[in-house]
Protein backbone atom coordinates (compact mmCIF):
# COMPACT_ATOMS: atom_id res chain seq x y z
CA UNK A 1 0.00 0.00 0.00
CA UNK A 2 1.22 3.45 -0.91
CA UNK A 3 1.71 5.89 1.95
CA UNK A 4 -1.20 8.27 2.39
CA UNK A 5 -0.33 9.77 5.74
CA UNK A 6 -2.93 12.25 6.90
CA UNK A 7 -4.12 13.89 10.07
CA UNK A 8 -7.81 13.71 10.87
CA UNK A 9 -9.77 15.53 13.53
CA UNK A 10 -12.63 13.46 14.84
CA UNK A 11 -15.92 14.83 16.14
CA UNK A 12 -14.67 14.16 19.69
CA UNK A 13 -11.80 16.63 18.92
CA UNK A 14 -9.12 13.94 18.93
CA UNK A 15 -6.45 14.33 16.26
CA UNK A 16 -5.12 11.13 14.72
CA UNK A 17 -2.24 10.69 12.34
CA UNK A 18 -2.18 7.49 10.29
CA UNK A 19 -1.60 5.94 6.93
CA UNK A 20 -5.15 6.11 5.56
CA UNK A 21 -7.19 4.42 2.88
CA UNK A 22 -10.29 6.52 2.14
CA UNK A 23 -13.35 4.64 0.91
CA UNK A 24 -16.86 5.87 0.15
CA UNK A 25 -18.37 5.54 3.66
CA UNK A 26 -15.36 4.69 5.83
CA UNK A 27 -11.64 5.17 6.28
CA UNK A 28 -9.13 2.44 7.11
CA UNK A 29 -6.44 3.65 9.53
CA UNK A 30 -3.12 1.81 9.46
CA UNK A 31 -0.86 2.36 12.50
CA UNK A 32 -3.01 5.18 13.92
CA UNK A 33 -1.47 7.41 16.58
CA UNK A 34 -3.29 9.90 18.77
CA UNK A 35 -1.70 13.35 18.70
CA UNK A 36 -1.58 14.78 22.21
CA UNK A 37 0.00 18.00 23.45
CA UNK A 38 1.53 17.38 26.88
CA UNK A 39 2.11 20.42 29.06
CA UNK A 40 5.01 19.87 31.45
CA UNK A 41 5.99 22.20 34.27
CA UNK A 42 8.11 25.09 33.05
CA UNK A 43 7.77 24.26 29.36
CA UNK A 44 5.56 24.91 26.41
CA UNK A 45 3.41 22.12 25.08
CA UNK A 46 5.20 19.08 23.67
CA UNK A 47 3.63 16.90 20.98
CA UNK A 48 3.37 13.28 22.07
CA UNK A 49 2.17 10.46 19.83
CA UNK A 50 0.18 7.84 21.72
CA UNK A 51 -1.22 4.48 20.73
CA UNK A 52 -4.74 4.98 19.47
CA UNK A 53 -5.54 1.28 19.64
CA UNK A 54 -4.98 -1.14 22.54
CA UNK A 55 -2.06 -3.13 21.08
CA UNK A 56 -2.22 -5.83 23.73
CA UNK A 57 -5.80 -6.70 22.75
CA UNK A 58 -5.62 -6.74 18.95
CA UNK A 59 -3.83 -8.71 16.25
CA UNK A 60 -3.29 -5.85 13.78
CA UNK A 61 -2.81 -2.13 14.32
CA UNK A 62 -5.64 -1.28 11.92
CA UNK A 63 -8.99 0.43 12.53
CA UNK A 64 -11.95 1.36 10.37
CA UNK A 65 -13.95 4.48 11.12
CA UNK A 66 -17.01 6.02 9.53
CA UNK A 67 -16.50 9.14 7.47
CA UNK A 68 -19.36 10.61 9.54
CA UNK A 69 -17.01 10.68 12.57
CA UNK A 70 -14.48 12.95 10.83
CA UNK A 71 -14.65 16.73 11.10
CA UNK A 72 -11.69 17.50 8.85
CA UNK A 73 -8.56 16.09 7.25
CA UNK A 74 -5.14 17.73 7.05
CA UNK A 75 -1.94 17.08 5.15
CA UNK A 76 1.00 16.88 7.58
CA UNK A 77 4.24 18.63 6.68
CA UNK A 78 7.33 16.57 5.81
CA UNK A 79 8.76 16.87 9.34
CA UNK A 80 5.55 15.48 10.86
CA UNK A 81 5.43 12.62 8.33
CA UNK A 82 9.02 11.68 9.17
CA UNK A 83 8.28 11.89 12.91
CA UNK A 84 5.20 9.66 12.47
CA UNK A 85 7.08 7.06 10.40
CA UNK A 86 9.98 7.03 12.88
CA UNK A 87 7.59 6.57 15.80
CA UNK A 88 5.73 3.72 14.08
CA UNK A 89 9.03 2.01 13.26
CA UNK A 90 10.29 2.33 16.85
CA UNK A 91 6.96 1.12 18.21
CA UNK A 92 7.02 -1.99 16.02
CA UNK A 93 10.64 -2.70 16.98
CA UNK A 94 9.76 -2.37 20.67
CA UNK A 95 6.82 -4.76 20.30
CA UNK A 96 9.04 -7.33 18.57
CA UNK A 97 12.00 -6.83 20.87
CA UNK A 98 10.07 -7.00 24.11
CA UNK A 99 10.64 -5.18 27.37
CA UNK A 100 13.03 -7.77 28.76
CA UNK A 101 15.44 -7.22 25.85
CA UNK A 102 15.82 -3.45 26.29
CA UNK A 103 19.27 -2.07 27.02
CA UNK A 104 19.78 -0.13 30.26
CA UNK A 105 19.85 3.13 28.29
CA UNK A 106 16.63 2.30 26.42
CA UNK A 107 14.93 1.35 29.68
CA UNK A 108 16.12 4.56 31.37
CA UNK A 109 14.89 6.71 28.48
CA UNK A 110 11.54 4.94 28.48
CA UNK A 111 11.10 5.39 32.23
CA UNK A 112 11.87 9.13 31.99
CA UNK A 113 9.27 9.62 29.28
CA UNK A 114 6.70 7.55 31.16
CA UNK A 115 7.22 9.61 34.31
CA UNK A 116 6.79 12.87 32.40
CA UNK A 117 3.50 11.95 30.81
CA UNK A 118 2.07 9.46 33.28
CA UNK A 119 -0.90 11.75 33.90
CA UNK A 120 -2.19 11.18 30.38
CA UNK A 121 -3.40 7.67 31.25
CA UNK A 122 -2.81 6.51 27.67
CA UNK A 123 -0.59 3.85 26.11
CA UNK A 124 2.75 5.41 25.23
CA UNK A 125 4.79 5.30 22.08
CA UNK A 126 8.34 6.41 22.65
CA UNK A 127 9.94 8.64 20.07
d(CA 52, CA 101): 24
Contact call for residues 27 and 8 (beta carbons, < 8 A) = yes
Q: Extract long-range pairs of 44-49: CB within 8 Å, 24+ residues apart.
A: 48/117, 48/120, 48/124, 49/17, 49/83, 49/84, 49/87, 49/125, 49/127
Domain boundaries, the chain: 5-120
pLDDT at 37: 81
Q: What is the pLDDT of residues 37-96, one digit of tens each?
A: 877 777 777 888 988 888 778 888 899 999 999 999 999 999 999 999 999 988 877 665
Look at residues 125, 121, 120, 88 and name the one whose alpha carbon lies nearest to residue 110. 125
Q: What is the pLDDT of residues 27-41, one digit of tens each?
A: 999 999 999 887 777
CATH: 3.30.70.120, 2.60.40.420, 3.40.50.10490, 2.30.30.100. Which one for 5-120? Answer: 2.30.30.100
d(CA 107, CA 38): 21
Q: Please, what's the b/e burial string for 23-38 (b: 16 or more CB within 10 A of its CB; e: otherwise)? A: eeeebbbbbbbbbbee
Amino acid sequence: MENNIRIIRLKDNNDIIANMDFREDFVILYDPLLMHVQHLKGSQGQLVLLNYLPHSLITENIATISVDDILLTMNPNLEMVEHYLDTVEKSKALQVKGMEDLTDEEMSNMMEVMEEISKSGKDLILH
